[in-house]
């Protein structure tokens, strides 16, 4: 498929949870004029924890992104909290193989609307004010992903489809719902003050397109569970793309669709 713009976030290359094969398949089958990498593309936290995991599929994802940039796709990498090693480099305007690095970006859509692009961690009070809690939360999330992987292995053996435990908990646990609501509201309020029409972000691993107080809020989702991306069509409309063969990553035959 061919799109005006694609935005992905929370890939977490370098972690066991990253669905690198699916992402590679997605990148090979979808082209765009502009590709936004909206933070947490590489999981540097795993280096600090000595839990770094990198295989050929992770390398292939990087190569594919670099190939797109070389062939004319404008690629912008927005720093997140897991790849915050990029932030000290931003003032020096360093690029990686034609990939621009930024802390935030402004995207002008086909209809003229202006969207602020940020990862979102700086609007998360826990990450910003109590990083140790965020660190513990990350470890708990790893445990959930491990349980989720084993559970879905058995589901696949029994002929059932993929089911995400952590996604279920996010949508059911009141504290998680309250956190996401406040996160979204913080971003919308900031955009209102700065006179943007919308926001494109990541961070909370929940793909979404909705309007909050007159601001178009869009979240890319992630590539450790839901395998989603935002896409701007040439008509000017935005969609959430799902690349949905999570249940059998070793035999990638995705059934892409928009929702």
Say which CATH superfamily domain 2-258 falls into: Metallo-dependent phosphatases (3.60.21.10)
CA gap 191, 111 in Å, rounded: 18
Q: Span 43-60, mean pLDDT? A: 89
Q: Find the mean pLDDT for residues 125-148.
A: 51
Q: Are strands 215-219 and 208-212 parallel, antiparallel or unpaired?
A: antiparallel
Is 8's pLDDT higher than 90? Answer: yes
Identify the residue with better confidence: 112 or 127.
112
**Domain parsing of the chain, residue ranges:** 2-258
* For range 240-247, the mean pLDDT: 72
Confidence at residue 53, expressed as pLDDT on a 0 to 100 scale: 92
Range from 28-32, 73-77, 94-98, 219-223 carrying the lowest mean pLDDT = 94-98
72 backbone dihedrals φ, ψ, rounded to 5°: 115, -5
Looking at every residue in the chain, the average pLDDT score rounds to 83
Long-range contacts of 212-216 (CB under 8 A, 24+ apart): 212/184, 212/185, 212/188, 213/185, 213/188, 213/189, 215/187, 215/188, 215/191, 216/113, 216/115
Neighbour count for residue 50 (Cβ, 10 Å): 6
% of residues, the chain, pLDDT over 70: 74
Full-model pTM: 0.79
| CA distance readout (Å), 65 to 27, 47, 86, 151, 213 | 8, 22, 17, 32, 35
Neighbours of 244 (CB within 10 A): 17
């Amino acid at each position: 498929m061919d799109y005006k713009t694609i935005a992905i976030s929370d890939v977490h290359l370098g972690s066991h949870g990253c669905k690198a094969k699916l992402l590679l398949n997605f990148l090979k089958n979808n082209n765009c004029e502009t590709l936004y990498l909206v933070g947490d593309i590489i999981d540097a936290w795993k280096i600090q924890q000595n839990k770094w995991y990198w295989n050929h599929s992770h390398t292939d994802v990087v190569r594919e992104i670099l190939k797109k940039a070389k062939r004319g796709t404008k690629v912008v990498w927005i720093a997140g909290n897991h790849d915050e090693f990029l932030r000290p480099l931003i003032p020096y305007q360093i690029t990686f193989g034609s990939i621009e690095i930024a802390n935030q970006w402004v995207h002008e859509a086909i209809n003229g609307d202006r969207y602020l692009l940020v990862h979102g961690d700086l609007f998360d009070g826990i990450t910003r004010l109590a990083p140790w809690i965020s660190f513990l939360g990350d470890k708990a999330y790893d445990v959930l992903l491990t349980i989720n992987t084993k559970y879905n292995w058995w589901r696949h053996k029994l002929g059932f489809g993929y089911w995400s435990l952590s996604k279920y908990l996010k949508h059911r646990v009141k504290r998680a719902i309250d956190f996401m609501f406040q996160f979204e509201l913080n971003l919308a309020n900031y955009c209102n003050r700065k006179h943007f029409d919308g926001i494109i972000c990541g961070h909370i691993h929940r793909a979404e397109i909705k309007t909050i107080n007159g601001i178009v809020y869009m979240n890319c989702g992630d590539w450790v569970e839901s395998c989603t991306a935002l896409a701007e069509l040439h008509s000017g409309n935005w969609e959430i793309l799902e690349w949905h063969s999570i249940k059998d990553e070793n035999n990638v035959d995705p059934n892409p669709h928009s929702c």
